[in-house]
Amino acid sequence: MLLQKGYGVHIEFFPWARAVRAAELGKADILFPEYFIDDAIMSDNRPSKTRNDLLALSSAVPGGNLSLIALRGNNSNYNGSLESIKDQIIGVVRSYKNTPELDELIDSKKINTIIANNEYQLIHLLMSLRVNLIVADYDVLIASIEKSVASAKEKQQMKNALVPLSPALAYKPLYYMVSKANPQWQEILADLNNEISKMKEQRTLLAYIEKNKQQCSR
């Protein structure tokens, strides 16, 4: 997307908390993919600053369902209300913003959680029975499995074991977040938004995202 605007692009993959820190401190120009961030969400890296003080959200691009994921065959009391799973241990990714209701329960210690650095670690928490459920986008979990160094047999076992519970917690569009530490952040943001708008008008955005999903899962 940025290559078409003449930018040089270098992509690095980090655990999420580290990626957020790099963008907030200006060591990375763009953070992706990110969920919508409310103006009240504070930075973990800059005291007294909100995340939106430090990063600028792009226009939305299609995302996916954020769901509770269980092991196939394991009974769950989940009925669509978080109250129904408050007695269970939930795996979540460090620094992820999930849904306001779930994050409030986590922050107030009203739900027991174990923190993972990434989705692949979440899967292992679930497979090893250290947690009852994990919170994730099911498609991202599958991509994480495909990118792993596990054998083909192990990958298939993991994929067969994961079941997203219904209803999903929320549908979550995705965003680019541009670091305001970059002096040209407004120009970068405008170029991103223009390209997103153009691809939506040309109806090529979904195909672009699907292509990149397939590349990520190899």
Judge contact between 9 and 2, C-beta under 8 A: yes
18-55 pLDDT tens trace: 999 999 999 999 999 888 988 988 999 998 999 999 99
Mean pLDDT of 184-208: 87
Residue 108 contacts by C-beta under 8 Å, 6 or more apart in sequence?
none
One domain for residues 151 and 78: yes
pTM, two decimal places: 0.81
One domain for residues 143 and 204: no
Assign 215 a pLDDT band (cuts: 50, 70, 90): very low
One domain for residues 20 and 43: yes
Number of domains in the chain: 2
Judge contact between 120 and 91, C-beta under 8 A: no
DSSP string for 139-169: HHHHHHHHHSS--HHHHHHHHHHEEE-SS-S
> Cis peptide leading into 33, omega within 30 of 0?
yes
One domain for residues 112 and 164: yes
132-157 pLDDT tens trace: 999 999 999 998 999 899 999 999 99
* Domain residue limits at 132: 65-170
One domain for residues 38 and 89: no
One domain for residues 136 and 182: no
One domain for residues 74 and 165: yes
Amino acid at 118: N
Shortest CA distance to 170 belongs to which of 122, 99, 93, 119? 99
Mean pLDDT of 111-116: 96
Higher-scoring residue by pLDDT: 16, 90: 90
48: which DSSP letter?
Answer: T
One domain for residues 37 and 129: no
> Cis peptide leading into 62, omega within 30 of 0?
no
Residue 217 has pLDDT above 50, yes or no: no
177-192 pLDDT tens trace: 999 999 999 999 999 9
One domain for residues 160 and 88: yes
Q: Tell me, what CATH number does 86's domain have?
A: 3.40.190.10
